[in-house]
Amino acid sequence: MTREASQTSTTADRARDAKAHAIAKAKAIAPDLAARIGSTPKTPFRGDPDIFGRLVEDHDRHRALLAMIEETQGDSEDRRALFEELTRELKAHAAAEEQALWSSVLRDPQTTDFARHAIAEHKEIDDMLADLAARDMSSSGWLQRFASLKEEYLHHIREEEQEQFVAAEQRLSSADLAHMRDVFERRKKAEKAAAQIEKKIRLKD
């Protein structure tokens, strides 16, 4: 095997391990449920040691939680536990991502719009989570509303991985990227410990 080929397989292994690790974290909440996340959009960042690899690992964990909630029935213990975990994960991830990454990206005029776009979608997702938390989990409409959140979130993370992270990476040094990962780790833990489940019906559908 040439050196180049062996490096390629190492990168592929790292990406596969990172994805499996992320799915296992989601599965720990409800081990009997399948996490059918299917194929994930291609990204060069999966398995990277810096901030973007860390963020993609969370995204894969979220993809698994979203898929597992779709396997639940009615107002069940699994649906409650998974939805609470998803809410705390998404809120903590978004807040820590804003503090570690988007705040710096926002200050650079070349990338301001990319950061603004990601942050605006965080608000939208937060509102959808609060709306779902306020609605009856046993009604058949709940899963339909949940499907809209899933679509919105999958769109958000695909766009981050394929557009906003790509643009941000070009403007950041490798020291920035390593430092940002540390900040993200610290902030995510603190934000998750403090995350509150809000309940608020959206006035507009």
Report how many residues bind Fe ion under the rule CB under 5 A.
3
Interface stretch with Fe ion, choices 1-9, 33-41, 51-59, 132-140 (CB under 5 A): 51-59
| Shortest Cβ 118–Fe ion spacing (Å) | 5
| Shortest Cβ 149–Fe ion spacing (Å) | 14
Site string for Fe ion, 143-182 (x = CB under 5 A): -----------------x----------------------
| Shortest Cβ 6–Fe ion spacing (Å) | 31
Instruction: Give long-range contacts, CB 8 A cutoff, 24+ apart: 160-165.
Output: 160/55, 160/59, 160/118, 161/41, 161/43, 161/45, 161/56, 161/59, 162/41, 162/43, 163/114, 164/105, 164/114, 164/115, 164/117, 164/118, 165/43, 165/45, 165/52, 165/55
Q: Find the binding residues for Fe ion in span 78-97 (CB under 5 A).
A: 97
Tokens for 90, please give them.
Answer: 């998404």
For Fe ion, which is the closer residue by CB, 79 or 169? 169
CA nearest 168: which of 120, 110, 116?
110
Q: Give the CA count within 13 Å in the CB-facing half-sphere of 149.
A: 29
For Fe ion, which is the closer residue by CB, 131 or 160? 160
Contacting residues toward Fe ion, per CB under 5 A: 55, 97, 160
